[in-house]
Structure formats: C-alpha cells, structure tokens
Amino acid sequence: MSAKQAGFRIDGRRFSLQNLSEMKAEKSDLLWCESFVFLQDWFDSADTIVQQSSGSTGPPKQISLSKAAMTASARMTGEFFGFDSTKNLFLCLSPNYIAGKMMIIRALVWEMNLIIGDNAANPVVTLDQQIDFSAMVPLQLSKIIAETPEKLDLFKTIIIGGSAVAGSLEQQLQQFSTAFYHTYGMTETMSHIALRKINGAEKSDWFSPLSGVNISVDDRNCLQINIENLGIKSLITNDIVSVNESNQFKILGRIDDVIISAGAKIHPLLIEQKLKKHISNQLLLLGKKDEIAGEIAVLVIEGSFTIKEIYDFWQKLTSLLPVHEMPRRLHFIDQIPLLPSGKANRKRLKESI
C-alpha cells in the first residue's frame, strides 16, 4: 500500500508523503515528531525496520523486522478487533518502541484515523473524542483512573502491554465499560500474539493465541511460538507456561528469574501476582546469592515504613504466603527503577540488594 493510495489519516487529515513535511513543521510535540520520523522510515525503499529490544531480559539488541511481517501482524490484530476505515486509533506510546510503531502501522494498513496524543503518564487529559482502539502501559491506566477516570468512557477497546497487570489495577478496571485486553508478545513477534480479556463476560486468566499462531512448550516448559505468515519458526522464549486443553496459556514466570533456594524452585511472578491483589505498594521478588541456600528470595517494596509498619507488613505476608514462598529478606526502596520501555529493571535491582 503506497502513501498515495492510503486512506490513512492523522487527526482527521488525509496523509500523503507530499504533506508529511508540512504536517511535521506544524507540530513540535515529541510524539508527533517521533511519529513522522517513523513514517519516513516506513515509506523508504528498505524492506525492513531496525528495532531495539526492550532490554527486560538482558542488554538491548538491534533486531531487523520485515515490513511485510509487520503488515501481516497489523492485519491479524485488525481481524480480531474488527478494524475498518471508520475507526479512530489513539497513539500514546512512543514509536521508538515496537508497541508505538505497530499502532501506526495498524492505522496505515486498515486506513484508519490516527489521533496522536502524547506519551505522558496520563495521556488523555485533553482528549475529548471517541476512540475505538488504543494501546497503553499499566502505569498510564493507573494514572488515568486516579486523575481522570471519566476519560476511559471515551474508549471502546484498550490493549495493555509492556509489563504484568497488577491485581489491584485489574480489579479497578472492572468498573468500566471499555473492553480491556492484556497482551502477550515481544519485539521479535512484532507486538502481541495472544490476548486475554481482563473485564466483562469473557474475562479470563488465560492468554488465547490469535488466529494463525501455533504454540508449544520445550523441555524446560517454556513457550515456543510458530507463526507462518509472520515468518516466525520455533521462536523459543524464556517464559515458563502452563497450557490448557483449549491451547490457551498462563505465564508462570521467566526461567531466568526462577529462584532456586535450598533446592526448591520459587517463581517470582506467581508470588508477585498473589501479593499485588492485597498490597498496593509496587513490589518485586528477586533472588540473591547465598552461600548456604544457593539463593534466597528478597522482596523489594517501594516506599518507606516505620518499624511498626514493617512488623504489620510481615504479618500480612505470613497470612498470604505459605512458608516455602516467604521471602527471607525485605528490601525497601524509594522507587523501583524502570527501563525506558516502562518495565521494572530487575537486573539493576538485583545488583543493588
């Protein structure tokens, strides 16, 4: 699809390569500028886009992604959500990352109207029109609920990615008519390959793969992905999963995050999910080397506590967790460090505890 043929619009204005420079000159906002830079890359003569991975599981790396595969991925999403040229998409994630890029490509492929907001913690403060589809990270949704919850009524569907959705946030989302979906995907898969509904009648704890996505597990019980039309063959992940009879899956944790303490395997993600249903503070469970046990579990909690509050917090932990899941140490921190993608920087934290 060429730019001349596209029905793609930006804020209701028909897009073409000819008016790209003119539109860019009118806007100084960072997200607008990043979007126009990406559009120039998308319509150049190259067959691929170079994308940096998020760095959540190791040093960020450069990945070459096929434009044809990214287009196919956008079609998969649109077929699931019923996209057509009448829809409004709202961009509030930087196209420097795959999630932002794919929002723009979806609008291009399905000839939709792309409304460019900003990627602030609360991106909807000035929004005053109906939106059919958007993608956000959990932090943005938390801020919207705290500051401008009425704005969520403007959205028909929001997909959530970038990190796990805390139990407390998931509970808050039950009050809204907007359809919320948690996504599973990575840079290598060009955005999400599976979804789980967070609220409403189809609410589920299981991720359902999109049409054309085939999953399996390797001998480590880690997810393997095959998607023929995206050119993905036996992509091996480090995500430990449980797969049910309907070929849906749950994430049990990452194999590189598993804590082996005195021979027992502890899955941090499962414990974090359990605690976040009852504890509002941001927290992470990490492994720390120990001469006797090999590793011990350390619970990192965001915030400052008095001695009495620490005692009460420990008592709460003992009521929520069995003995073998209890952390051996608590580590308090003013703010959990984040990667540029918004995910918790576990590697940096592990070096500091």
pLDDT surpassing 70 at residue 308 = yes
Superfamily of domain 259-352: ANL, C-terminal domain (3.30.300.30)
Residue with tokens 């009852």, as numbered in its chain:
278
Across 57-64, average pLDDT: 70
- CA-CA distance, 80 to 281, in Å (whole number)? 35
- CA-CA distance, 144 to 150, in Å (whole number)? 9
Classified as helix, coil or strand, 78 is helix
CATH 3.40.50.12780 residue ranges of the chain are 9-211
Q: Model confidence over 229-275: pLDDT tens digits?
A: 999 999 999 899 999 999 999 998 888 888 988 778 888 988 998 89
pTM confidence score: 0.82
Range in 16-25, 53-62, 241-250 with the lowest mean pLDDT = 53-62
Average pLDDT, the chain: 89
Q: Model confidence over 140-170: pLDDT tens digits?
A: 999 999 999 999 999 999 999 987 787 888 9
Superfamily of domain 9-211: ANL, N-terminal domain (3.40.50.12780)
CATH 3.30.300.30 residue ranges of the chain are 259-352
Q: How far is CA 117 from CA 30, 100, 113, 176, 291, in A?
A: 10, 12, 13, 21, 51
Confidence at residue 57, expressed as pLDDT on a 0 to 100 scale: 46
Confidence at residue 55, expressed as pLDDT on a 0 to 100 scale: 53
Q: Model confidence over 83-107: pLDDT tens digits?
A: 999 999 999 999 999 999 999 999 9
Contact 268, 284 (CB under 8 A): yes
Confidence at residue 59, expressed as pLDDT on a 0 to 100 scale: 56
Confidence at residue 16, expressed as pLDDT on a 0 to 100 scale: 80
* Tokens of residue 174, six digits: 């039950």
